[in-house]
Amino acid sequence: MDLGVYVHIPFCATRCDYCDFATWTDRGHLVADYVDACITDIEHQFSRDLRSATSVFFGGGTPSLLPATAISRILAAIPRARDAEVTVECNPDSVDQAKLSAYAHAGVRRLSFGVQSMRTHVLAALGRTHDPANVDRAVRWARAEGFDDVNLDLIYGTPGESRADWQATIAGALALRPSHVSAYALTVEPATPLGRRVHDGSALPPDDDDQAAKYEIVDDALSAAGYEWYEISNWSRPGRTCRHNELYWAQGEYVAIGCAAHGHAGGRRWWNVRTPERYIDAIGRGSSPVAGEEHLDATAAEAEQFGLALRTRRGAVPLRGCGDVVSELSAAGLLVPVADRVVLTRRGRLLASDVTARFLAATERHGSALALGRLEC
């Protein structure tokens, strides 16, 4: 069975206007203690006879803001399978060729660059500090250091972004020949600077129809360029999917390292204390950094399994007793039956949450516990 390790790096040089993640711009003085705490936590967790990790993901925050030696020390503490996929999220502004070389020597195999847009006015609207030239330079350095697996993260639907802007972003991204592209619709969170601008009327909220059109644009462009969608927001060259993220969508097991990190094993999901200070303190006292947990019963686990699998190219085994829903949604062009599974059409991908809700509502109407079963239609 695969095992992932997620390492949360909560430090950033600046905070993007749309971000509500557990990140801080004023805690750089904690970096050394935080890295030591992560290593101590890893050693403690793997002392419980955990199997070797098949994937490791450094997310944040801005992992690439840390010295390369810090990432290398944390990674060296994690027992890994020989072919483990190791990913580091990078800001194009906070890498250089020497840092990427150090990553490669430490065992990092995959880089994920936060590009978001290739248009300067869109980047400014998001509060990003890099420009397209930084992206081009960072990817060239990555290639020079032998990184074949490079992901570019993109965001569509930013206020002020035209469809021509989005097409230019996609073209710019494809020109860099990434092995993987992630494209996400902008979500406005109330407590962020962007959220406050939308609330006071100084910025427009994303338009659903505009975002749907931009999703179709990116899907068409990536498909034409030889990329395959394998999850609603992710496309890759054949055989170059992100194994760590696939672990999430398959309800796999993963270890949580760092503040605000989440873990999952055996139907138990837990999350660590949110701030780096509290995490460092808990580890230093020999206490658990876990702030809360939940245990999924069989019904909740099956519902989650269905919803996650439905987001993927492979699709999901439909919930038992939902034959009528399958027929209705198939007739509406939202999904197609494939063997014993159902797979979302592109239109269905745009309405995935609604499709999932229809299935779950049908099971509630029947008054029966959820159960995954063979296709009934």
pLDDT of res. 321: 75
Instruction: Report the C-alpha gap between 37 and 31 in whole angstroms.
Output: 10
Euclidean distance between the first and final Cα of the chain, in Å?
33
pLDDT category of residue 322 using cuts at 50, 70 and 90: confident
pLDDT of res. 49: 81
pLDDT category of residue 288 using cuts at 50, 70 and 90: very high
Q: Which of 10, 33, 27 is nearest to 281 (CA)?
A: 33
Q: Residues near 52 by Cβ (< 8 Å), separated by ≥ 6?
A: 3, 79, 80, 81, 84
pLDDT category of residue 367 using cuts at 50, 70 and 90: low
How far are the Cα atoms of 9, 30, 60, 90, 197 from residue 25, in angstroms, in the given order? 12, 11, 12, 16, 21
Q: Residues near 376 by Cβ (< 8 Å), separated by ≥ 6?
A: 318, 320, 321, 322, 323, 326
- What average pLDDT does the structure give for the chain? 94
E strand or H helix at 156? strand 149-156
68-90 pLDDT, tens per residue? 999 999 999 999 999 999 999 99
104-145 pLDDT, tens per residue? 999 999 999 999 999 999 999 999 999 999 999 999 999 999
Q: Quick check: 61 pLDDT over 90?
A: yes
pLDDT of res. 318: 86
Q: Give pTM, 2 decimals.
A: 0.94
Q: Where are the alpha helices (DSSP H) in the chain?
A: 31-46, 68-76, 97-106, 120-126, 132-144, 163-175, 193-200, 208-224, 243-249, 276-284, 298-310, 323-331, 346-350, 352-366
Q: By three-state DSSP, how is residue 116 classified?
A: strand
pLDDT of res. 366: 59
Q: Considering Cα of 126, then 132, then 133, then 135, what sign does the dihedral take? A: positive
41 contacts 283 by C-beta, under 8 angstroms = yes
82 contacts 122 by C-beta, under 8 angstroms = no
- 244 token code pair: 């760590």
